[in-house]
Structure 1
Amino acid sequence: MKIFFMCVLFFSLVIQAQEYKIGQGVQLNKKLTVGAYFSTDYTKGSSVDKARLDDVAVLAYGNLSSQLSYFLELESAPTYVKDYKNHSTQTNLKFYYERAYGNYMYSDNLALRFGKFITPIGYWNLEPINVLRDTSSNPLYSSLLFPKFVTGVDLYGYVNEEDSLQYHLFLQTTNDIDEDYINIKNNFFLGSSLSYDISDEINLGATLGYFKTKDIKKDVFLAQINAKYDNYPYLLQTEWAYTDIKNKTLSNKAKQFGGYLQGMYNFTQQHAIVGRYEYFDDTQTSTLIQQQHIGIIGYSYRPVYAVSIKAEYQFNSHQELNKAIISFSVLF
């Protein structure tokens, strides 16, 4: 009920705000800005035929002082699913803590983030809002290899005067703040990452980590690399990760390896074409889809930056998984 009233308040403020610009939220006072977003999609393939109201979220953020800030994101996902193939519907009106953290900036070289925050890995994971992404779908890499969020602390900052080399040292020693809303449940996650801007157009990064899963007890070692070339109208990025897994329950070992290479060309600021190649291999499973090659061709239209209409088709090495996806998303 509290979330409902927050949504009503936000949209009433949007209507009344004279200087409101879509995508920038509404500043209620110097210490509080509120916003929201939603995304919808429709997926059609030989094994799937469904429409979703995938994300509905509300945001609150602001600066409490020159050094201390906060961010809160409550999300319902998927909020509504209509499965035409199985003739069923699913509704989920519960809101979960996706992000809830404080941030203390001591200097450009040292800052502390505490609470539940995005795991500082690569590029894709750092853009959790659908409207900001370039395709309707997410690479398998982004959800199957590492926990997407950390509930703990993160020390980060720049290590040189040019602010071109950034580090993160993060640690989790407890359960997630909201265990119903994380891709891999864990109670220990230790990692470090580096991000280096070679130039204004080229960035490189890497992450090393170790985490312990909960439901099926596993010790997982993670190694990841990423690279990006961003020079409008071209954007090329790639991310790859490897995990070495020790299953304590079954006393065996396994590995995962996956990643993607994605390129985008902007015809104009509103229109772009996107192509992506994905690879994923998981020796934990003996099914026929242990290994997947996925090719994606897509189109993106942004009448304004905070509104996105996207369409794509996925070609999977297992043809029964081929599918088309269209999506519509808005950031308020």
Structure 2
Amino acid sequence: MALGLLQAALAPAQPPVPDPALAGLREGLGLGYRLGDSGFNLGGYAEAAYASRDGEQPWRLALNALSGILWWDGGGRWRFLMELELEDGLVVQPGDTTTDTATPVLERFHVDYAYGDRWQLRLGKFLTPIGRWNLIHAAPLTWTTSRPLITEATFPTNATGAMVHGVLPWTADGIEYALYVSPGEELFAAKDIDTFREALGLRLATSLLPDTQFGISFASFEQESTPDRKTLYGLDFRWAWRRYELSGELAYRTRDFGEDQIDEHGHYLQAVAPLSARLFAVARYENFHASNAAHDINRYLAGLTFRPLPAFALKAEYARMTDDRMGRDDTVRASVAVLF
């Protein structure tokens, strides 16, 4: 199966790979499996990661994710996709090796009806279309082992309900949109995520400048554990030119305590530069203010990513996180990730 099909299954509403220089390497990689003439395809990805943090456990080695993706495309208007992920399937620490932390998570389970490019209907469980990172979060397709703080818990990463999405031909490159509603409980909710109780949201993305895509996000929602009404506003962008990349996201969330108040906010800016044909330098700055926190957190990250193949990534990074109250927290991470 071509790499492009699996990448489209991983992130159907976004560019298939973070590095546009790799986008043409699609055929002959043996990624994914077509199940006869049934129209079903099977693929996935895996990530193993190492982390060492000052002042805590000396190191941790884990099978962070083992994800299986089954999708069906019969060539007509109907499509189906399911993604099942095993998180922390194996954890190794000094003096301890365990599989007790293994957690199965249903990431996605949805049916799509494609009326045309302008609109498609999606029903089921899908990735919440807020910002860029949440839609291209699969480890082989990202530049770093860690994900930005503003994308971790400011909003639920999955939603169960209905979404209408497509491309409107109102500009030269079109305007991508996703309008979604989540009316109730999440399908097979993960235990450690404060899921949507109800949600309504919109994301728009378009290219206003050469080699650059801009996006805006809006969501109004309640969550199961924190039923106060929240409203989230987000901006994101990505500029890519000759294997260089600059991207970022900004989000802030208000919470209704009788009157709207800023509850949580943050942003990140990430730069990628090629050092050789397959080796890239990565740098990221983050600022994050968590709900009810007294101080902002700043994180500075520098790393290297080696891609011997488009479907294979080796990453190493050093991050320093500072807080006026807590001082400094240094972390070293490394990972290997592969699409299959």
Report the TM-score when normalising by structure 1: 0.86
Match for residue 241 of structure 2?
A: 231
Tell whether the 8 Å contact from 1:313 to 1:325 is kept in structure 2 after alignment.
Answer: yes
1:81 aligns with 2:86: no
What number of residue pairs does the alignment pair up?
307
1:26 lines up with 2:33 in the alignment: yes
1:127 aligns with 2:136: yes
Q: Which of 308, 311, 316 does residue 311 from structure 1 map onto? A: 316
- Give the match for residue 279 of structure 1: 287
Report how far residue 285 of structure 1 moved: 3.4
Give the 3-state SS of the residue equivalent to 2:152 in structure 1: helix
> Is the contact between residue 261 and residue 277 of structure 1 (CA under 8 Å) also seen in structure 2?
yes
Structural mapping, 1:149-168, within 5 Å: 149-160=158-169, 162-168=172-178
Task: Indicate how the Cα distance of structure 1 residues 123 and 283 shifts in structure 2: closer, same or farther if over 3 A, else same.
Answer: closer
Q: Distance in 1 between matches of 2:191 and 2:275?
A: 37
**Distance in 2, Cα, partners of 1:128 & 1:70:** 20
How far apart are residue 21 of structure 1 and its match?
2.2
Q: Which runs of 5+ in 2 are unaligned?
A: 1-26
Asked if the contact 1:145–1:256 (Cα under 8 Å) also holds between the matched residues in 2, the reply is: yes
Give the Cα–Cα distance (whole angstroms) in 2 for the partners of residues 136 and 94 of structure 1. Answer: 19
Provide the residue aligned with 2:104 in structure 1. Answer: 95
SS at structure 1 position matched to 2:226: coil
2:202 pairs, out of 181, 192, 195, with 192
Q: For 1:128 and 1:181, how far apart are their aligned partners in 2?
A: 20
Checking the alignment, whether the CA contact within 8 Å between 2:60 and 2:91 is kept in structure 1 is yes
Name the counterpart of 1:328.
Answer: 336
Q: Distance in 2 between matches of 1:87 and 1:163?
A: 53
How much has 1:317 moved relative to structure 2?
A: 1.0
Question: In 1, are the aligned partners of 2:144 and 2:315 still within 8 Å (CA)?
Answer: yes
The change in CA–CA distance for 1:116 and 1:200 in structure 2 (over 3 A counts) is farther
Rounded to whole Å, the distance in 2 between the matches of 1:267 and 1:315 is 23
Partner residue, 1:15: none
How far apart are the structure 2 equivalents of 1:79 and 1:176?
Answer: 23
1:54/1:139 CA distance change after superposition, 3 Å: same
Q: Distance in 2 between matches of 1:94 and 1:51?
A: 16
| Unaligned 5+ runs, structure 1 | 1-18
The 3 A distance-change label for structure 1 pair 182 and 172 is farther
Q: 1:25 to 1:197 in 2, by over 3 A?
A: same
1:123 and 1:269 map into 2 onto residues whose CA distance is 25
Contact 1:97 1:181 in 2 (8 A): no
Residue 261, structure 1, aligned to residue 302, structure 2: no
1:61-76 to structure 2, matched below 5 A, reads 61-76=71-86
CA distance in 2, matches of 1:168, 1:53: 33
Alpha-carbon contact 1:254-1:284 (below 8 Å) kept: no
Q: Which residue of 2 aligns with 1:116?
A: 125
RMSD (CA atoms): 2.2
CA gap 1:235/1:181 in 2 versus in 1, 3 angstroms = farther
Whole-Å Cα distance in 2 between the matches of residues 293 and 105 of structure 1? 43
The CA distance in 2 between the partners of 1:267 and 1:151, in whole Å, is: 42
Conserved in 2, the CA contact under 8 Å of 1:217 and 1:247?
Answer: no
User: Is the 1:306–1:331 contact (alpha carbons within 8 Å) kept by the matching residues of 2?
Assistant: yes
Report how far residue 42 of structure 1 moved.
Answer: 0.7
- Whole-angstrom CA distance in 2 between matches of 1:247 and 1:101: 35
Indicate conservation of the 8 Å contact 1:233/1:267, yes or no: no
Partner residue of 1:51 out of 61, 68, 71: 61
Matching residue within 141, 148, 158 for 1:139: 148
Q: 1:152 to 1:182 in 2, by over 3 A?
A: farther
Cα distance, 1:140 vs. partner?
A: 0.5
Which whole-Å CA distance do the structure 1 matches of 2:244 and 2:260 have between them?
44
Residue aligned with 1:294, SS? strand
Change (3 A) 1:234 1:170: same
Deviation at 1:208, TM superposition (A): 1.0
Matching residue's letter, 2:100: T
Percent of aligned pairs with the same amino acid = 24
Distance in 1, matches of 2:76 and 2:207, equals 27
